[in-house]
Structure 1
Amino acid sequence: MNFKYSLLAGAVLSAVSAIAHADDGDVTKVVVTANPFHQGETEQILVPAKVLSGDELRDKMSNSLGDTLSSELGVSTSAFGAGSSRPIIRGLEGARVKMLENGMAVSDVSGLSNDHAVSAEGAVAHQIEILRGPASLMYGSGAIGGLVNVVNERIPPALEPKLTGQVETRYSSVDDGTATSGTIDGAVGKLALHVDANTRQSGDYKIPGNRVEGDPDSASGRLPHSGTHEKGAGFGGSYIDGWGYVGASVSSLDNKYGIPTAEGSAIDQHQVRYDFDSLFKNPLPGIESAKFKAGYTDYHHAELGDDGQPEVKFKNRSVETRADAVHKAIDGWHGTFGVQTELTHFSALSAQGGPDTVPVTRSNSSAGFLVEEKEWGPVRVNAGVRLEHVKREPVSGLDRSFSLQSGALGALWSFTPGYATGLTLSRAQRAPSTEELYSGGPHDATITYDVGDPNLSKETSRNVEFSLQKTAGLIRWKANLFRNSISDFIYGHVTGRMLDEEGQDGGEFRQRIFSQGDATIRGAEAEIEYNPLAMGLNGRLFADTSHGDLKNAGSLPLQPASRVGASIGYRTPVWRAGATWIHAQAQDRLASFETAPTGSYNQVSANLSYTQKLADMDLTWFVLAKNLLNEDIRVSTSLLKDVSPLPGRSFVFGVRAKF
């Protein structure tokens, strides 16, 4: 496989091959809750995974989920201002990266457009999981890029022997921002209870130079319309006994944030969510456990103009159910099977009497899935299949139905203790989303006039991935090569026409037509870690690169830059310190309608913390430094890269109490 930037990955792979064996470090095992077998992170070779938890999660926590995960292998961010940045995995974004909260869809509208924030809050999360591969078929055929699961356990799965919790407050210098969050878990008899809350407020953030690179007449000092104001809370409980548990939760989110386009706008976001969860142990002969989950989400947001008045109102009401069971081994095969349904009512209507961006549309889907695993000596086989039916019914326009068939097969060979190599083949299909089919109006936050195509076909992705890992010892490493061929890839083609709010020539909105073409994404990733998460010295080197092409039409839009990075840290029972450097190459592989390449940059961050014992509480004082070099960083995956650089140098001061 030929890659334009293969030297990046090759440098790390060469370093990996030169390092000798070492004894196991004291590494904490983290369980991946979204995996059907609940295996640890280091066992996820067929399902490549990263789990952020504990101190690592707190150090990387940012205002948005995309920024929090942006330094992980193969992950970048949409960088749509401080309030809205969604994860991009291996060059795939939007609906192709499914967002979950405790294993259920977040049911916001963040997959529709980069200016829409993810409604799952990382500040109160126990851990955040990134998964790809066969296990993702349990959650949706459209997760071609993978999935991100935010785990907050609002419905407690276990009884806490005593009251436990965590409270944190922090201040950030770059935006005069303050953030406070907390979680408390406890039990009364067999009743487990959970409560969490968070609030965040920040002003416009500082930027190193001018808003528009090379334009001294553009804004400087601070980026206009980049402030945020968020508050959220959740409460849940469950009844737990020897047979399992049953519980429910309710949560709310209010989030108002600026959109730093040249024209300036804001989004006022609100969500109320209700969830039900249950687990039954050994309910039937041959069944180890069975789960049933249900969720109802009432989501809406208004896109505000520079006068503060609503211009477009987005609404999404969703009901999701899923039932699955883990069966006992049958001829060595052990796995999970289940069914999932989802019903949504979505709309994006003009608040000022103009054309509606997306008409009221009812969508329903039903799916059945099966994920299995079997071992033949040193070889482990993992397979999954998902059959799904999706129907879109707009109030005006053409109804569409799609039958989706997705499957994956992987094999892992542990050729010697602590070393393994794997090969995964997958085929996944995705139905066009509502806005891709039925858009027909202005979208103020992206300054586009979106035009859907009700005759779009379903996408079909065929992916092959080769992996090699060392999972034991003080030194651990992994490397992945992948190629993803996508038939009928759906993308927004910016034509160059400028339209007004009525769709007539001569306005400020760029016409964006949803189109299809065959695409190929290929890439490589490599990472080596020394003594991860254990006491003493630790370090990490990584590199990732991917390149997406449209057949006979140049590069895919908004592709991530190739990166290489390194980190070093030191940990004692009370002190923890570290520094990270990431170098991104210039990105000039542009789509035919993109005009501005992004330059290379170096992103340097550091952390220092001290933990003291205070009665039964661990009190941690910490300082974080971000973009220490104060570089003008523009991210190639951002629609706003021309007018919205990342924040300049920032120091975050905080204290965290854990009991």
Structure 2
Amino acid sequence: MRIYPFMQPCQSSSVWTTIVFLLTGNLVLAQEVTIYPNESEEESPLLDEIVVSASPDPGSQLGLGQYSPHAVRVVETETLRRNATGTLGETLGWEPGVSSSYFTPGASRPVIRGFEGYRVRMLRDDLDTFDLSDISPDHGVALEPFLLESVEIHRGPAALLYGNSAVGGAVNARSRSIARIMPKRVATGALEQRFDSVSSGYESAGYMTLKAGEFLFQLTGSHREAEDIRIPGNAWSDDYEMLERPSVWVPGTGGASGQVVPLENPSGRLPHSFHDSSTWSAGFSWIPENLPLVLGVSYSRFDSRYGMPYIYPGDPTDFFGEYDLDISQDRFDFEGSMDFDQGFVSKLQARLGYGAYRHSEYFIGRGKDEGSEFVDSYFEKDAFEGRIDMHHRGFNDAWTGVIGFSARHEDFTAVRTIYPPPDPVTTDTFLRSDNYGLHALEQFEGGEWTFRLGHRLEYVEVLDHSMESFGFLRGEKDHSSATSGSVTWARENFIELDRLALTGTVSLTERQPSAIERYAFWNNAGIGRFLIGGDLDGTPLANEESLGFEIGVEASRGPVGFRLNAYHYDYENFIFMQEDPAATGGFGKAVRYIGRAATFTGFETELDWKIHEEDGKVLKLTLMSDYVRGTNEDEGQPIPRMPPLRFGSRLEWQDERFTVGLEIRHATGQDRVKPEPRAELPTDAYTMVNMDASWNIPVRDHQLTLFLRATNLLNEEARLSTSFRKDVAPLPGRGLSAGLRYEF
């Protein structure tokens, strides 16, 4: 294979809208080495770019190193194909330190080290996903996992370059919306079809690249139709049914005024857990033969509709029914990058993005409210983001770094129905946010020592225009900063080890509350609560400040590699949602954003062992474990929805044609929950056993792959402690998915 050092395509996408190319482009935290297929006829034409996750680190152009505990974790294409589900949260849910905010098969978001929402930035090609998954976990991420090339999970100093809010980290999905490599053939691509038994679901996906000289056209598309999922037992947990006793008032029965009737706990299938979605994109890029330049533009469309299983509102006379969530997004991306062989500047990268997101929550009446259908809540989000980054080098490449500027603007509208048809009354909330940031990450290597220092200065202004027509405009604006530094010592052939690396990191971060955390005031169907902003009691939320410490160890000897990270975060004002029974005066349930002193302590570890490797045949074992303990120090109570202690393993056999894997995943029970008045119930332990197999069949110079994946073979009832809906929405039961992929 041949490496082109100066024609490294940009690995992220941006957006354009007006020709205001805002020199706010975006930064690529990754200096990824792109390896192009050899033009020999003996090579497969389908060799997509391969990200080499050795030094320099694939997640930051600063060469953090393969063995650094802060190297960005890259989930490669093959792993995504094996684990891909309808949501990114479930797809990544068993990566070390990463869990999921599972609501249904249609809504799930990654949770990193117990952090969710605003503290985990969701990105597509280094720009925001421009959806509403950060304001509520029942809002799906506007991404199709089957169409991703890879996913980067960023932690440590490099994550600050994506924003002061990325305390937990950043999840950067690499899409195929723009072609960034020059293929050998005029047309290359892949088609995939799969069936999933647990939801009787069909999924189709594909992408194709067309070459015309120096120009590339990229097309992608996918479609999914999935019915209600099968579950091992009952939909509602025993504790939930005993505590809530779901019931409904039925008029005209048991007397003149009617009577309250207990609801039956669904069994065997989870009602209203269907998921339908489709997405497509069209991109155009220019990769001149004699210039180290890549320019690209794309348009993408995302549509998703999924059901939200019933959750008892707490009042039998309230509306009885379920919710459908309907999501659509139009997105434009523009990106450009240029590499420089000599001089202080090694690369310039710029990105610009625009997303128009629409989200409706439909109430669909059942029983006594049969025929009553209306939009309970409607959301709009129009957002721009742009970044520009300069990667540099100096002192014989011992000093490397990136300096950049980013800007983001967002208009958010929420329309809430107070009285439904036939005499509807609604209220509107209109919020505007502006964010500007300067960021830098510098690294110096000297012998066995590597020093890194990252800093970001951010200006944020949020305004609530909801009552502007009455002469009332409120808002907050302020600066915040975040600094993170680390030191790594690494030595080859240390005692009995081939390599040992030790890293210590200290971070001091400050985050300003978002407009939603300050001014939210609407019903949230997904969490079954009325959502109230922290500023609405007259006392504005203070900035969130945290001091973090982390130590990391990585070691290898022969076929065995080991990694361990242990961390502690101390928050002066941690902002989160907590049950507030008094907020609605006793009518319905509500949660309010509050700020409390909090601590988070945890670890994540992983061991890889190539048990056997000979003549292209490999038997390998992977073990992982992670845990985090979050505590509200002001009140001496657990932070809600924390992941439990988990253990996972995968045994895999692979040769040139076949891959067979066995996974065992165990999550312990989570009984660290807030005491009375109890808003969160304990979660039982569960063990998942999965198996998968794939068979690659060469067809001339193309490739056909047959694959099978069996999940939850023990048919365990499993509920995620990180989910608001764990007590009414268990994970799917035993299932089998089978598919066929053709690459040409």
Calculate the TM-score normalised by the size of structure 1: 0.91
Name the SS of the counterpart of 1:560 in structure 2: coil
| 1:562 alignment partner in structure 2 | 645
- Alpha-carbon offset, residue 305 of structure 1: 0.6
State the secondary structure of the residue aligned to 1:57. Answer: helix
- Give 1:479 deviation, angstroms: 0.7
- Whether 1:519 and 2:542 are equivalent positions in the alignment is no
**Whole-Å separation in 2 of the counterparts to 1:634 and 1:209:** 12
Asked whether the 8 Å contact 1:355–1:441 carries over to 2, the reply is no
Aligned to 1:399, what secondary structure does the other structure show? Answer: strand
2:589 match: secondary structure: strand
Which residue does the alignment assign to 2:143?
A: 120
Residues 166 and 30 of structure 1, relative CA distance in 2, 3 Å threshold: farther
Measured after TM superposition, the shift of residue 594 of structure 1 is 3.1
Q: In the alignment, which residue of structure 1 is the partner of 2:191?
A: 167
Find 2:77's aligned residue among 46, 54, 59.
54
2:485 is the alignment partner of 1:379: no
**Deviation sequence 1:273-309 (CA, Å, 0-9, x none):** 0011001223995211111110010001101112442
Q: CA–CA distance in 2 between the matches of 1:628 and 1:71?
A: 17
2:718 pairs with one of 633, 639, 647: 633
Q: Report if aligned partners of 2:59, 2:72 keep a CA contact under 8 Å in 1.
A: no
- State the SS of the aligned residue for 1:99: strand
User: How much has 1:165 moved relative to structure 2?
Assistant: 1.6
Give the match for residue 293 of structure 2: 244
Tell me the distance in 1 between the aligned counterparts of 2:632 and 2:390.
Answer: 40
Indicate how the Cα distance of structure 1 residues 309 and 391 shifts in structure 2: closer, same or farther if over 3 A, else same.
same
**What is the CA–CA distance in structure 2 between the aligned matches of 1:283 and 1:614, rounded to whole Å?**
40
Amino acid in the other structure paired with 2:271: P
Matched position secondary structure for 1:309: strand
How far residue 354 of structure 1 moved from its aligned partner, in angstroms, is: 4.6
Measured after TM superposition, the shift of residue 651 of structure 1 is: 0.3
CA contact (8 A) 1:261 1:446 kept: no
Q: What SS class does the counterpart of residue 305 from structure 1 fall into?
A: strand
Q: Does structure 1 residue 322 correspond to structure 2 residue 387?
A: yes
For residues 33 and 366 of structure 1, do their structure 2 counterparts lie closer, same or farther at Cα, with a shift above 3 Å needed?
farther
- Sort the Cα spacing of 1:284 and 1:399 in 2 relative to 1 into closer, same or farther, 3 A: farther
1:241-271 Cα shifts (integer Å, max 9, x gaps) = 2131211110000100111232521110000
Partner of 2:206: 182
Mapped to 2, the partners of 1:134 and 1:505 lie a distance apart of: 45
Alpha-carbon contact 1:283-1:290 (below 8 Å) kept? no
SS in structure 2 at match of 1:43: coil
Q: Displacement, 1:498?
A: 8.1
3-state SS of paired residue (2:580): strand
Name whichever of 163-172 and 101-110 sits farther off.
Answer: 163-172
Q: How does 1:94-105 map to 2 (within 5 A)?
A: 94-105=117-128
The more displaced of 28-37 and 65-74 is 28-37
Counterpart amino acid of residue 619 in structure 2: L
Equivalent in the alignment of 1:16: none
Between the aligned partners of 2:720 and 2:327, the Cα distance in structure 1 is 25
In structure 2, the residue matched to 1:585 is: 668
Is 1:653 paired with 2:742? Answer: no
Instruction: Check the 8 A contact 1:465/1:482 in 2, yes or no.
Output: yes
Q: Secondary structure at the match of 2:454?
A: strand
Which of 384, 388, 395 aligns to 2:458? It is: 388
Shift of 1:122: 1.2
Aligned partner of 2:510 in structure 1 is 429
Report how far residue 438 of structure 1 moved.
0.4
8 Å CA contact 1:495–1:511 kept in 2: the answer is yes
1:361 aligns with 2:431: yes
Cα distance in 2 for partners of 1:283, 1:538 equals: 39
1:213 aligns with one of 213, 237, 247: 237
Compute the TM-score of the two structures, normalised by the length of structure 2: 0.81
Distance 1:398 1:283, change over 3 A: farther
1:398 and 2:474 equivalent?
A: yes
Q: How does 1:333-352 map to 2 (within 5 A)?
A: 333-351=399-417, 352=420
Helix, strand or coil: the match of 1:445?
coil
Q: Given that residues 46 and 410 in structure 1 are in contact (C-alpha distance below 8 angstroms), is that contact kept between their aligned partners in structure 2?
A: no
Q: CA deviation at 1:38?
A: 7.1
Report Cα offsets for 1:588-644 as digits up to 9, x if no partner. 001244341011110111101111111221111111011110011011111111111
* Aligned mate of 1:143, from 144, 159, 166: 166
- Contact in 1 for aligned 2:62/2:442 (Cα 8 Å): no
User: How far, CA to CA, are the matches of 1:220 and 1:538 in structure 2?
Assistant: 39
- Provide the secondary structure at the position in 2 that maps to 1:55: helix
CA deviation after TM superposition for structure 1 residue 487, in Å: 1.6
Give the Å deviation of 1:355.
5.7
- The reply on whether 1:459 has 2:544 as its aligned counterpart is yes
CA RMSD after TM alignment: 2.1
Instruction: Say whether the 8 Å CA contact 2:305–2:324 is kept in structure 1.
Output: yes
Aligned CA distance change for structure 1 residues 28 and 515 (closer, same or farther; 3 Å): closer
Q: CA deviation at 1:364?
A: 0.5
After TM superposition, give the deviation of residue 359 of structure 1 in Å. 1.4
Matched position secondary structure for 1:436: helix
| Residues 1:621 and 2:706 aligned together | yes
> Structure 2 counterpart of 1:434, which letter?
A
Alpha-carbon distance in structure 2 between the residues aligned to 1:284 and 1:346: 45
One-letter identity of the residue aligned with 1:237: F
Aligned to 2:258: none
2:41 is aligned to none
CA deviation string 1:177-212 (max 9, x = no partner): 111111112321111221111111100000100111
Q: For residue 86 of structure 2, what is the amino acid of its counterpart?
A: N
Distance in 1 (CA, whole Å) between partners of 2:67 and 2:416 is: 46
- Is 1:87–2:110 an aligned residue pair? yes
* Equivalent residue in structure 1 for 2:223, among 199, 216, 221: 199
Give 2:337's aligned residue: 279
- The residue type equivalent to 1:304 in the other structure is Y
Q: CA deviation at 1:474?
A: 1.7
Question: 2:633 aligned with 1:551, yes or no?
Answer: yes
Name structure 2 gaps, 5 residues minimum. Answer: 1-49, 242-262, 312-320, 366-372, 468-472, 494-498
Taking the aligned partners of 1:450 and 1:194, their CA distance within structure 2 comes to: 41
Quote the offset at 1:519 in angstroms: 0.8
Deviation at residue 467 of structure 1 after TM alignment: 0.5
In the alignment, is residue 228 of structure 1 matched against residue 228 of structure 2? no
Counterpart residue type for residue 303 of structure 2: D
Aligned-residue offset at 1:316: 0.5
1:74-124 per-residue CA deviation (whole Å, 9 max, x = no partner) reads 111101111001000000001110000011111111000011000022110
Shift of 1:39: 5.3
AA partner of residue 217 (structure 1): E
Kindly provide the CA deviation profile for residues 306-332 of structure 1, in whole angstroms up to 9, marking residues without a partner as x.
244211111100011100011121584
Are 1:569 and 1:579, in contact at CA under 8 Å, matched by a contact in 2? yes
Q: Cα–Cα, structure 1 residues 195 and 221, in superposed 2: closer, same or farther, change >3 Å?
A: same
Native 8 Å contact 2:688 2:712 kept in 1: yes
Shift of 1:383: 1.4
CA contact (8 A) 1:91 1:559 kept: yes
Residues 131-152 of structure 1: per-residue CA shift (max 9 Å, x gap):
1011112211100100111101
